[in-house]
Amino acid sequence: MDPQTNIYQPFPVRILRTLPQIAEHRLFQLQMEDGGSWERFGHQPGQFIEVSIFGKGEAPISISSPPTRPDVLEICVRRTGNLTNALFELEKGSRLHVRGPYGRGFPVEKLKGRNLLLVAGGLGLAPLRSLLLYVLDRRDEFGDLTLMYGTNNPDNVLFKYELLSFFDRSDIRYFYSVDRDQEGIWKQYVGVVTGLFDQAELSTSDTCAVLCGPPIMYRFVLEKLLALGFSKENIYMSLERMMKCGVGKCGHCAIGEMYCCMDGPVFNYTEIEHIKEAI
Ligand SMILES: Cc1cc2nc3c(=O)[nH]c(=O)nc-3n(C[C@H](O)[C@H](O)[C@H](O)COP(=O)(O)OP(=O)(O)OC[C@H]3O[C@@H](n4cnc5c(N)ncnc54)[C@H](O)[C@@H]3O)c2cc1C
Ligand code: FES
């Protein structure tokens, strides 16, 4: 089945490769059943899919790879419950189903030509990576690129080798932090991710900030961005909510009058600042 025929219908895919990340987290590379390109899937950075395994369940998972790399579709999964446990039991070549792509992703067209500040916390790097790699693949279409990534300790750094590879590039500024470093092995900043703002000299007026991480990170990063003079219109964030249908039917993901699955998961700050339960 061609995914473009009916985006509500799950279609079969196969696991091409699984790459261990950190404890209980794996990157799955998915291949179309006919081995074809994912270009016809038509996904945008920041969108998600519903992943299902018959008899086990279904869960929304962010697409972690950009449309500029259409050979495989990558998802980075944390083992938490029914579906993800079953997914971790599958081997290379196994069949599962996906439907999508769903949701409003990052506003790529609006971000073109702008300086970008990408701020990720923990597993938030998984969806943000789709935008990060997109920008790196089309580097001349964007202005300065700054990445801030924070996680709780040095053992929990996702996409470690990719992050290390940026050391060899001059077209991205990167700042990495860990909350704690009990063994004293971390060479970069130790402290919460907001501490990285004191190291990066950001030009605030022409920069768009894109955030992806836990709600607690949003609270402090937003405070910092506004104090630095970022305009609210230039701040975007991806929100995670309990989702079931993924297509605006079940009401599980309501935020105020909006549905996170359809109106988000990416929102401009001005759209949600007045909704108390949003963050
Ligand atoms: C838009 C979106 C994108 C997501 N992207 C990813 C991703 O890229 N990688 C990834 O690993 N996970 C992602 N998730 C979270 C994932 O969908 C949930 O963890 C899901 O519950 C896993 O299904 P399960 O059947 O394995 O777990 P379940 O058996 O459903 O639940 C396991 C446990 O997690 C709790 N839980 C369920 N949903 C959430 C949630 N949204 N937040 C916090 N706790 C929850 C349950 O209450 C339960 O305690 C995303 C969620 C959304 C809404
Ligand atoms: S998940 Fe069902 S309405 Fe959003």
pLDDT (tens digit, 9 = 90+) per residue, 148-158? Answer: 999 999 999 99
State the residue range of the domain holding 90: 11-102
pLDDT at 4: 62
State which ligand 1 atom lies nearest to the alpha carbon of 78.
11
The single residue listed with the structure tokens 């790879």 is 65
Mean pLDDT value across residues 117-126: 96
In a domain? residue 93: yes
Mean pLDDT value across residues 253-262: 93
- Measured distance CA(129)–CA(165) in Å, rounded: 14
Q: What ligand is nearest to the CA atom of residue 255?
A: 2
**Residues 20 and 88 grouped into a single domain:** yes
Burial class (CB in 10 A: 0-12, 13-18, 19+), 31: middle
State which ligand 2 atom lies nearest to the alpha carbon of 260.
4
In degrees rounded to 5, what are phi and psi of residue 61?
Answer: -140, 135
pLDDT at 113: 96
Does residue 243's CB lie within 6 angstroms of at least one atom of ligand 1?
yes
The single residue listed with the structure tokens 């509500």 is 8
Ligand 2 centroid distance, CA of 241 (Å):
9
Give pTM, 2 decimals.
0.94
Q: Which residue in 101, 94, 88 sits closest to 23, CA to CA?
A: 88
Mean pLDDT value across residues 2-30: 89
**Residues 92 and 168 grouped into a single domain:** no
Does residue 241's CB lie within 6 angstroms of at least one atom of ligand 2?
no
Mean pLDDT value across residues 202-209: 89
What is the pLDDT confidence band of residue 2, given thresholds at 50, 70 and 90?
A: low
pLDDT at 278: 82
Given a cut of 90, whether residue 276 has pLDDT beyond it is: no
**Residues 226 and 143 grouped into a single domain:** yes
pLDDT at 1: 56
**Residues 31 and 54 grouped into a single domain:** yes
pLDDT in tens, 81-92: 999 999 999 999
One-letter amino acid for residue 47 of the chain: Q
Q: Which residue in 254, 226, 230 sits closest to 242, CA to CA?
A: 254
Give the Cβ contact number of residue 197 at 10 Å.
19
**Residues 96 and 142 grouped into a single domain:** no
**Residues 201 and 122 grouped into a single domain:** yes
Q: Which residue in 54, 258, 29, 23 sits closest to 158, CA to CA?
A: 23
The CA R_g of the chain, rounded to the nearest whole Å, is: 18
Dihedral (Cα; 167, 214, 109, 76), 10-degree rounding: 70
Does residue 176's CB lie within 6 angstroms of at least one atom of ligand 1?
no
Eight-class DSSP state of 104: B
Q: What ligand is nearest to the CA atom of residue 52?
A: 1
Ligand 2 pocket: which of 58, 99, 243 to mutate (most atoms <8 Å of CB)? Answer: 243
The single residue listed with the structure tokens 């405070």 is 223
Task: Give 65-83 as a DSSP string.
Answer: S-TT-TT-EEEEEE--SHH
One-letter amino acid for residue 204 of the chain: T
In a domain? residue 174: yes
Q: Which residue in 159, 83, 177, 70 sits closest to 123, CA to CA?
A: 159
> What CATH code is carried by the domain that includes residue 139?
3.40.50.80
- Could you tell me what percent of the chain has a pLDDT over 70? 99
Q: How many structural domains is the chain composed of?
A: 2
Ligand 1 pocket: which of 61, 75, 78, 255 to mutate (most atoms <8 Å of CB)? Answer: 61
Does residue 57's CB lie within 6 angstroms of at least one atom of ligand 1?
yes
What is the pLDDT confidence band of residue 253, given thresholds at 50, 70 and 90?
A: very high
**Residues 84 and 148 grouped into a single domain:** no
pLDDT at 6: 77
State which ligand 2 atom lies nearest to the alpha carbon of 253.
4
Burial class (CB in 10 A: 0-12, 13-18, 19+), 180: exposed
Ligand 1 centroid distance, CA of 185 (Å):
31
In degrees rounded to 5, what are phi and psi of residue 134?
Answer: -60, -45
The single residue listed with the structure tokens 């993901």 is 253
pLDDT at 8: 83
- Measured distance CA(95)–CA(53) in Å, rounded: 8
Burial class (CB in 10 A: 0-12, 13-18, 19+), 18: middle
Query: Is the alpha carbon torsion for 193, 196, 200, 201 positive or negative?
Result: positive
Angle ∠(49,272,231) on CA atoms, nearest 5: 110
Does residue 239's CB lie within 6 angstroms of at least one atom of ligand 2?
no
Q: Which residue in 192, 242, 234 sits closest to 216, CA to CA?
A: 192
Does residue 243's CB lie within 6 angstroms of at least one atom of ligand 2?
yes
End residue of a domain, out of 71, 102, 133 = 102
Q: What ligand is nearest to the CA atom of residue 214?
A: 1
